[in-house]
Amino acid sequence: MFELHPNLASGTRLLAQWELCQLRALPDPQLPWLVLVPQREGVLELFDLSPADQGRLIKEVNLAAQAIVQAFGPDKINLGALGNLTPQFHFHVIGRYKTDRGWPGPIWGVAATEDPAKADQILDQLTRHFLG
Amino acid sequence: MFELHPNLASGTRLLAQWELCQLRALPDPQLPWLVLVPQREGVLELFDLSPADQGRLIKEVNLAAQAIVQAFGPDKINLGALGNLTPQFHFHVIGRYKTDRGWPGPIWGVAATEDPAKADQILDQLTRHFLG
């Protein structure tokens, strides 16, 4: 049975249940940051998903990326699945800006100055977008 | 017509022509590092690929990840498509080790101490694997 890793449960917020993935948002004061978690047990790497589920994953990653572009118009989309700290397979879809704190490097591991009001504003915008 | 971005042409080495992608290796003294470049013109983001090509991409990413696991047995596979510096869409498939210079953070942008002999050894092993 699929069970969400505690790091993802505590660090991200559920936006939608898609066919394969839970679509979740990671609160960030600068960036729209989505995390897709395939609702399958014991998946650590891409190849632990069936070929059909891999097809579903890329479709859902694509939807998430298009949504970020429509809602936020960032300078670039960054995609990634690392899992070095949280082993349950999860796929990041992040809108990046040339003015953000990590540009042009990766954003993973680059701490933000806390600003809960800004983070809430981005989360609300994401929530509205996916609730339609 | 597809033309490889100069950064990818100079910074990576062609290993194979797959159905969608050029499979290329990025020389690194610590890590097996593959870069898949869809041979399509004008692709900057995932959604610039057709749905059929997105399906091909995820299959080829999966093949590359499995090959790294078989040939190198790393602790983790890291996947990513950033493009903040090189806009032509390309997808990284990297074998990570708990002992590598960037662990557990991302490896992009973490410079390695130069060691051409070690980098050549990994490239040779990758080449043998994909020609094998």
Domain of residue B23, residue span? 6-131
- Residue A1 inside a domain? The answer is no
Count of structural domains, chain A: 1
**What is the reported pLDDT for B131?**
77
Q: At CB < 8 Å, which residues of chain B contact A?
A: 45-47, 51, 54-55, 57-59, 61-62, 65-66, 69, 76-85, 87, 91, 96, 103-106, 108-109
- Residue B33 inside a domain? The answer is yes
CATH of residue A122's domain is: 3.30.428.10
Mean pLDDT calculated for residue range B32-51:
98
Q: Is the ipTM of this complex over 0.90?
A: yes
pTM given for the model: 0.97
Q: What is the pLDDT of residues B56-77, one digit of tens each?
A: 999 999 999 999 999 999 999 9
> Nearest CB to A109: which of B58, B83, B105?
B105
> Nearest CB to A54: which of B62, B78, B106?
B62
Q: Please name the residue ranges forming H helices in A1-132.
A: 6-11, 51-72, 116-131
**What is the reported pLDDT for B49?**
98
Q: Determine the residue of chain A that is closest to B76 in CA distance.
A: A84
Q: Which amino acid is at B20?
A: L
- Residue A124 inside a domain? The answer is yes
Of chain B, the end-to-end C-alpha distance in Å amounts to 30
Structure tokens at B38: 């869809």
- Residue B45 inside a domain? The answer is yes
**What is the reported pLDDT for A11?**
96
pLDDT surpassing 90 at residue B130? no
- Residue A90 inside a domain? The answer is yes
What are the residues whose beta carbons fall under 8 Å from the beta carbon of A92, sequence distance 6 or more? A26, A33, A34, A35, A78, A79, A80, A81, A82, A108
Q: What is the pLDDT of residues A24-64, one digit of tens each?
A: 999 999 999 999 999 999 999 999 999 999 999 999 999 99
pLDDT surpassing 70 at residue B132? no
pLDDT surpassing 90 at residue B95? yes
The answer to whether A94 and A78 are in contact (CB under 8 A) is yes
- Residue B96 inside a domain? The answer is yes
Mutate to test the interface with A, among B70, B76, B89, B96 (most CBs of A within 10 A): B76
**What is the reported pLDDT for A131?**
77
- Residue A84 inside a domain? The answer is yes
pLDDT surpassing 90 at residue A88? yes
- Residue B43 inside a domain? The answer is yes
Residue A54, classed as helix, strand or coil, is helix
